[in-house]
């Protein structure tokens, strides 16, 4: 079974995404109209491990849920930016930390139901504070260091609510326990 896109109507463009409505024909030539798709840049996040074997987390307000989440640092890639450089930049901007040893954990689609981008997950060892935060105008980020065992207890208890953080922690677990 397959679908062929036959029409695209870009309806909205912002700093972080475009909204398109697409029409598709299926194998039986049936038209599926007005399929909403959010087009965005890929993103990257990192599970930073400090020299004290803590995981560095960020607490930040998320406008979609109008509440704070506890998550691993990360953000959108700039156009043509290498994903490793992007995640290193995001860690430094959001936390003021840098790390010496980086490992790519894998990549997944952000939400393939209606979003076209991927999230690239990393783990970084020997995370050390080397600068001050350099936040975007709409960011207010608190930094929390938490022991690895506590993070995974909270993960197992369902206390992390950001799916990108959950995926990153699951992928990193084999390297941390």
Per-residue pLDDT, averaged over 6-24, amounts to 95
> Domain range holding 11?
3-39
CA dihedral sign, ordered 172, 110, 118, 137: negative
Asked if residue 152 and residue 129 are part of one domain, the reply reads yes
Question: CATH number of the domain that 117 lies in?
Answer: 3.90.79.10
Rounded to two decimals, the pTM is: 0.93
pLDDT tens per residue, range 157-176: 999 999 999 999 999 999 99
Please give the tally of structural domains in the chain: 2
Note whether 123 and 47 are within 8 A (CB).
Answer: yes
pLDDT of residue 147: 98
Asked if residue 116 and residue 160 are part of one domain, the reply reads yes
CA distance 164 to 115: 14
Residue 64 pLDDT greater than 80, yes or no: yes
Asked if residue 84 and residue 49 are part of one domain, the reply reads yes
Asked if residue 113 and residue 157 are part of one domain, the reply reads yes
CA distance 51 to 57: 14
Asked if residue 133 and residue 111 are part of one domain, the reply reads yes
Per-residue pLDDT, averaged over 29-58, amounts to 97
Residue 138 pLDDT greater than 90, yes or no: no
Asked if residue 102 and residue 124 are part of one domain, the reply reads yes
């Amino acid at each position: 079974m397959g679908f062929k896109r036959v029409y695209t109507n870009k309806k909205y463009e912002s700093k972080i995404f475009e909204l398109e409505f697409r029409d598709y024909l299926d194998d039986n030539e049936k038209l599926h109209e007005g399929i909403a798709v959010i087009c965005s840049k890929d993103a990257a996040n990192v599970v930073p491990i400090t020299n004290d074997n803590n995981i560095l987390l960020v607490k930040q307000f998320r406008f979609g849920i109008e509440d704070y989440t506890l998550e691993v640092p990360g953000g959108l890639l700039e156009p043509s930016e290498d994903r490793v450089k992007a995640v290193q930049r995001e860690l430094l901007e959001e936390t003021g930390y840098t790390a010496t040893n980086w490992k790519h954990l894998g990549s997944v689609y952000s939400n393939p139901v209606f979003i076209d981008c991927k999230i690239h997950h990393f783990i970084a060892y020997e995370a050390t504070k080397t600068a001050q935060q350099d936040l975007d105008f709409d960011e207010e980020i608190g930094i929390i260091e938490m022991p690895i065992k506590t993070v995974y207890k909270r993960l197992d208890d369902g206390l992390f609510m950001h799916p990108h953080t959950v995926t990153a922690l699951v992928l990193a677990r084999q390297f941390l326990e």
